Amino acid sequence: MKVDSLPGARVTIKVGGQVLKEYEDNSDELYIPNFGRCYVEASSGAEFEIGLAFDYASINAPSPLDSLVCRVYLDGTDTTSRVLDIQGNGYRRGCLIDGRPENVGGRHYKRPMTFAELITDDGPAKSIKPETVVELGEVRVDFFWFRNAGAAVPCQTLPDFKPTIEGGLPEKCLKGRAVSHSAKLGERKACTVIQNTQHGSYPYSGKPFAKYTFKYRSKRDLQIEGVLPRTPSPVPLEERDPDSLTAEEARELVRQMRATQKDNVQVKREKRERSGTALNDDDEDDARASSESRGRKRQRRSTDSAIDVVDLTDD
């Protein structure tokens, strides 16, 4: 995904090294040059990464002292960040943000970002503030201009990560939105590469000048929101061209027809029992055959042997 306020930059979400397909978000037609948004398909338990690709020649910093900071938000919670030096000679044209680095007791770890199933219940929504779930189902990547202050130091101990939703969420809080997943951090994994922390300031109001929002949804959620077409219902076997049926489909159709005939016999038997009339063999034979019209035509020969008269009266 790209935005006009940061030309030459592309932000993606990757799962298993593959970029997730992006679908347009047309829910709001208002054009905002520094705000990009799209839908992506998410699967429960999948670990994901943020892919960053740059053409630094087209990125003009307000000052030679400025660097780029990329911050990642999971469901609205500030999760991790990366400082990108676009002025120096050691910058890379692309990088991955594959989790949140943590320092626990002097040991360095990384917690991967994952999509998880959202657990909902029928509880009251009063205890949940609406603003805490407004970004549920979104991964947001913001870019700021940043002014370095001093040399970078090894990653320091960070505050514990608190996901937006812990435990179950009252269904009422979703207000009809098709959101069945949340974004969380996985278990800590030992990290051999020590990441650094860069101290500094935000010289231009501290507001992001470029935003990328990925609305992640399951395939079913994407269909509910009209992003993906719904799976068409299969044509009933009895409406299919007989020549198009496979051997198994033909056998299934015969089983269905026999079950229908059996149900018809049972219905007639129950009707006769309620009316006090026994159901004889002739009646069963009649139930197996197609019902005959009461207005069935029968021929009656007139006294004039040369003329056939058709009687259309009811039996």
pLDDT tens digit sequence for 126-185:
777 777 788 889 999 999 998 888 777 777 666 677 777 776 787 888 777 888 888 999
Residue 296 forms part of a structural domain: no
**CA 299 – CA 313 distance, rounded (Å):** 11
Q: What is the pLDDT of residue 138?
A: 93
Q: At what angle do helices 247-275 and 281-288 cross, to 10 degrees?
A: 140
Tell me: do 141 and 208 sit in the same domain.
Answer: yes
> pLDDT by residue (tens digit) across 101-126?
888 877 888 899 999 998 887 777 77
Q: Between 313 and 255, whose confidence is greater?
A: 255
Of 20-29, 175-184, 264-273, 274-283, least confident by mean pLDDT is: 274-283
User: What is residue 22's three-state secondary structure?
Assistant: coil
Let me know: does 24 contact 70? Beta carbons within 8 Å. Answer: no
**CA 12 – CA 53 distance, rounded (Å):** 9
> pLDDT by residue (tens digit) across 179-221?
888 899 999 888 877 777 777 888 888 889 999 999 999 999 9
Closest CA to 46 of 17, 21, 69: 17
- At 145, which helix (H) or strand (E)? strand 138-148
**CA 214 – CA 25 distance, rounded (Å):** 9
Tell me: do 125 and 264 sit in the same domain.
Answer: no
Q: What is the pLDDT of residue 285?
A: 53
**Predicted confidence (pLDDT) at residue 235 exceeds the cutoff of 70:** yes
**Predicted confidence (pLDDT) at residue 92 exceeds the cutoff of 70:** no
Q: Which residues are CB-neighbours of 40 under 8 A, at least 6 positions away?
A: 13, 20, 21, 22, 23, 214, 215, 216, 217
Q: Between 239 and 307, whose confidence is greater?
A: 239
Tell me: do 177 and 283 sit in the same domain.
Answer: no
Tell me: do 216 and 269 sit in the same domain.
Answer: no
Q: What is the pLDDT of residue 114?
A: 94
Q: What is the pLDDT of residue 313?
A: 42
Domain housing 245? 237-291
Q: What is the pLDDT of residue 280?
A: 56
Torsion of the alpha carbons at 239, 245, 251 and 252, rounded to the nearest 10: -50
Residue 230 forms part of a structural domain: no
Tell me: do 60 and 118 sit in the same domain.
Answer: yes
Q: Write down the pTM of the prediction.
A: 0.70
Tell me: do 114 and 249 sit in the same domain.
Answer: no
Residue 231 forms part of a structural domain: no
Tell me: do 190 and 94 sit in the same domain.
Answer: yes
Tell me: do 106 and 206 sit in the same domain.
Answer: yes
Report the percent of the chain where pLDDT is more than 70.
79
Kindly report the average pLDDT of the chain as a whole number.
79
**CA 174 – CA 126 distance, rounded (Å):** 13
Amino acid type, 80: T
Residue 232 forms part of a structural domain: no
Tell me: do 137 and 257 sit in the same domain.
Answer: no
Report the percent of the chain where pLDDT is more than 90.
18
Tell me: do 155 and 183 sit in the same domain.
Answer: yes
Residue 277 forms part of a structural domain: yes
Residue 312 forms part of a structural domain: no
Q: What are phi and psi of 138, to 5 degrees?
A: -130, 140
Residue 229 forms part of a structural domain: no
Domain count across the chain: 2
